[in-house]
Structure 1
Amino acid sequence: MKNLVILAGVAAFGLSGCVTPSGVANMDPNLKTQATLPPEVAATVAPGQDTSDIRIDARDGCLMYRHNGPVETTYIPLRNKKGRAICIKREA
């Protein structure tokens, strides 16, 4: 009986690796629109930000970039060299 309990615990632990991790796959629906940076905007981007995947936040029109952190991958605001968020005008 004890071996059966241990086997069930090992099986549950092993199957937990089959779960899809949350993150970019469950992306915020407000970040669906991809954008490309014009050269004059790209020149103002602060160093250390990955501009290969830029999204527009539908709530405020600010540009977001994909940050691959040690724990999770998330979208955070794209900042200029002065530390301000880079936003675009929203159409009415």
Structure 2
Amino acid sequence: MTPAHSTGKAALLVAALLTLGACTLPVTRIAEPETGLSQEKMAQLSAMAAPYQDVQTTVLRPEDGCYWYRHVGPVETTMLPLRTPEGRPICTERGAQAAS
């Protein structure tokens, strides 16, 4: 094998790896929301919320006074309102008054 032949194979291998690397999806980490909620409040929300929701990611949105959680779906991750098993949103007193 000649040195030129060896160099050509190496260059072809590098080009193939770069091409394959361009076809992959970037892996991004979604930041964990800072809940700022006490353990007592988290326990209350957990008792009130429907079981399919991730209460550990719950945040209180000041805009509406309601609690929202991070839902990780098959296509996207989004914040959704935290709801009771009956489907009612879980809000603070101020949020409940604004909703009615």
Which structure carries more helix by proportion? 2
Quote the offset at 1:40 in angstroms: 3.1
Match of 2:58 in 1: 54
SS, match of residue 48 in structure 2: coil
Q: TM-score, normalised by structure 1?
A: 0.58
SS, match of residue 43 in structure 1: helix
CA RMSD of aligned residues (A): 3.2
Q: Which amino acid letter does the alignment assign opposite residue 49 of structure 1?
A: Q
Q: Does 1:82 align with 2:75?
A: no
Q: TM-score, normalised by structure 2?
A: 0.54
Q: Percent identity?
A: 35
Aligned length, in residue pairs: 78
CA distance in 1, matches of 2:23, 2:47: 44
| Bigger Rg, structure 1 or 2 | 2
Compared with structure 1, are the counterparts of its residues 18 and 86 closer, same or farther at alpha carbon in structure 2 (3 Å cutoff)?
A: same
Query: Deviations for 1:9-47, whole angstroms, at most 9, x for unmatched residues?
Result: xx78954757676x946xxxxxx7623434333211111
Structure 2 gaps of 5+ residues are: 1-14, 96-100
Query: Deviations for 1:41-84, whole angstroms, at most 9, x for unmatched residues?
Result: 32111111111111111210111111000011111000012211
Task: Kindly indicate whether structure 1 or structure 2 has the higher relative contact order, using CA contacts under 8 Å at least 6 residues apart.
Answer: 1
